Amino acid sequence: MESGTNPRRPDPRFTLPGSGEPFRTAFAVAPIALAILAADGRIDMANAAFCELLGRSSDDLNGIRLSDLYVGEGDARSAGVDYVLPPGQERCSVEVWFNHDQQQPLRCVLSLALVRGKGGEAPYYVAQVRDITTERIAERRLAQYAGELERSNQELEQLATVVSHDLQAPLRTLRGYAQLLIDEYGRLLDEQGIRWTSYVMNGADRMQVLIGDLLKVARVQAHSSPVIETDLTPIVTRAWERIGLMYAAASPELASEPLPVVAVDEIQIEQVFQNLFDNAVKYRRQDAPPRVRLNVSRLRDEWQFAVSDNGIGLEMVHSRRIFEVFQRLHADHEYDGTGIGLAVCKKIIERHRGRIWVESSPGSGSTFYFTIPDADWGHFTRDAS
Ligand code: ADP
């Protein structure tokens, strides 16, 4: 590797600040790419990191204009930083493509600062170059993936909505004519005929519920509201009041820790609490009144919520499956439901960039955990709204 200094440099006016050997050495060995440009923009001196970054020796670099190394009409030119600062400007930072001797061009941040010599010496420029190619490629890929994901999510939601609507029309016909059959021709049917027709009606009703639930999952993204700082206390109170009314006969009780203010989509997070409370009471043991606890922990950069119950519990082997659409561990006649509640919770929590999981064992109750991160909300809010 070259030393980065120019032993042939003829300009005797040029001196480094401090001009002593330690400064010269510091410049030469600094791990950041530095160059000194003369007043006309030509490279007077480039350090080892600069030479290495652009794949050239200091002999190759000395005397050429920095702008000779740009690729195409870069931002630097459009920003007016052709090879020196525009008049009146003393420092600037721009992104440019630099030609590398052996590799693909490099995307770099070029920072230029004008230094006025004391005692009438010619001014010179200190140039610093930082390679950001990898960062920019990663950013571009990430943006591409995010765009593709967004598009595919939208397509899926559209598909689910269209399919659901289209399924409802024939279903209504089926249900309507089965009802007519019973109303108008019921006297002509024997007991078995009436039973079979009511099976048709029940099946149609069930399918109507399933389609409605499918729509609920599809709508998590489509019908979202902005994420804003929200006091969770009234939200949890409302969610629990509804559960209290639904299961009044079982006398459920909730014990909750004080709740924080967290950045959430208010409507969606209320839905999460309601679904978890609903399950905590629905899957209760016959021999114990339902007791639900809501615990909150502050972790490093997120809030963790835990909804615990004293219900029937479940085998951990099913702990992932139950968060999938229509996955249930019980027959419909044992416990009412369609297997959509936890799938909706998962989708909502993932939209908030959190996680949701369960810890449980049969007969010993369950604890459903979820987290809501509190960092990086500016980014999230822009995405989500
Ligand atoms: P649903 O309650 O309509 O079946 P969910 O998606 O809410 O749908 O739950 C999926 C399955 O997870 C339930 O069928 C049940 O088997 C199990 N489950 C959910 N919550 C609990 C709980 N608190 N205790 C025991 N099992 C639970």
Name the more confident of 292 and 101: 292
Q: Atom 14 in ligand 1: which residue has the minimum CA distance?
A: 328
pLDDT at 379: 42
C-alpha 180 – ligand 1 centre gap (Å): 36
How far apart (Å, rounded) are the C-alpha atoms in residues 188 and 220?
47
Instruction: Give 330: exposed, middle or buried? Use CB within 10 Å, 0-12, 13-18, 19+.
Output: middle
Determine which of 3-7, 63-67, 151-155 has the lowest per-residue pLDDT on average: 3-7
pLDDT at 84: 58
Give the pLDDT band of residue 300 (cuts 50, 70, 90). Answer: confident
pLDDT at 172: 92
pLDDT at 8 over 50: no
Residue labelled with tokens 């003393």? 90
How far apart (Å, rounded) are the C-alpha atoms in residues 321 and 308?
19
Give the pLDDT band of residue 360 (cuts 50, 70, 90). Answer: very high
Share of the chain above pLDDT 90, in %: 54
Report whether 47 contacts 34 (CB < 8 A): yes
- Tell me: the pLDDT tens digits for 323-332? 998 888 888 7
Provide the residue type at 161 as one letter.
T
CA-angle at 194, arms to 188 and 197, nearest 5°: 115
Q: Atom 12 in ligand 1: which residue has the minimum CA distance?
A: 322
pLDDT at 312 over 70: yes
Q: What is the pTM of this model?
A: 0.66
pLDDT at 334: 86
Q: Atom 13 in ligand 1: which residue has the minimum CA distance?
A: 328
Please provide the average confidence, as pLDDT, over all residues in the chain. 85
pLDDT at 107 over 60: yes
C-alpha 168 – ligand 1 centre gap (Å): 26
pLDDT at 82: 54
C-alpha 311 – ligand 1 centre gap (Å): 11
Q: Atom 18 in ligand 1: which residue has the minimum CA distance?
A: 279
Strand, coil or helix: what is 218?
A: helix
* Residues whose beta carbon lies within 6 Å of some atom of ligand 1: 275, 279-280, 283, 309, 311-314, 322, 328-330, 337-343, 366
Q: Atom 19 in ligand 1: which residue has the minimum CA distance?
A: 279
Q: Record the tokens describing residue 370, joined without a space.
A: 């979820």
Stretch 354-374: mean pLDDT: 95
Instruction: Give 277: exposed, middle or buried? Use CB within 10 Å, 0-12, 13-18, 19+.
Output: buried
Give the pLDDT band of residue 384 (cuts 50, 70, 90). Answer: very low
Q: Atom 16 in ligand 1: which residue has the minimum CA distance?
A: 329
Instruction: Give 315: exposed, middle or buried? Use CB within 10 Å, 0-12, 13-18, 19+.
Output: exposed
C-alpha 72 – ligand 1 centre gap (Å): 60
C-alpha 116 – ligand 1 centre gap (Å): 74
Determine which of 94-103, 190-199, 240-249, 349-358 has the lowest per-residue pLDDT on average: 94-103
pLDDT at 250 over 80: yes
How far apart (Å, rounded) are the C-alpha atoms in residues 104 and 342?
49
CA-angle at 259, arms to 344 and 285, nearest 5°: 60
C-alpha 280 – ligand 1 centre gap (Å): 8
Stretch 218-235: mean pLDDT: 85
Q: Atom 3 in ligand 1: which residue has the minimum CA distance?
A: 337
* Helix count and strand count (H, E) for the chain: 10, 12
pLDDT at 103: 83
Give the pLDDT band of residue 257 (cuts 50, 70, 90). Answer: very high
- Tell me: the pLDDT tens digits for 16-35? 555 567 778 888 889 999 99
Strand, coil or helix: what is 250?
A: helix
Give the pLDDT band of residue 1 (cuts 50, 70, 90). Answer: very low
Name the more confident of 87 and 57: 57
Give the pLDDT band of residue 129 (cuts 50, 70, 90). Answer: very high
C-alpha 250 – ligand 1 centre gap (Å): 18
Provide the residue type at 167 as one letter.
L
pLDDT at 73 over 60: no
Mutate to test the pocket of ligand 1, among 282, 307, 342 (most ligand atoms within 8 A of CB): 342
pLDDT at 256 over 70: yes
Instruction: State the closest ligand 1 atom to the C-alpha of 365, by its place in the atom list counted from 1.
Output: 24
How far apart (Å, rounded) are the C-alpha atoms in residues 384 and 221?
9
pLDDT at 74: 52
Phi, psi of 54 (to 5 degrees): -95, 0
pLDDT at 375: 54
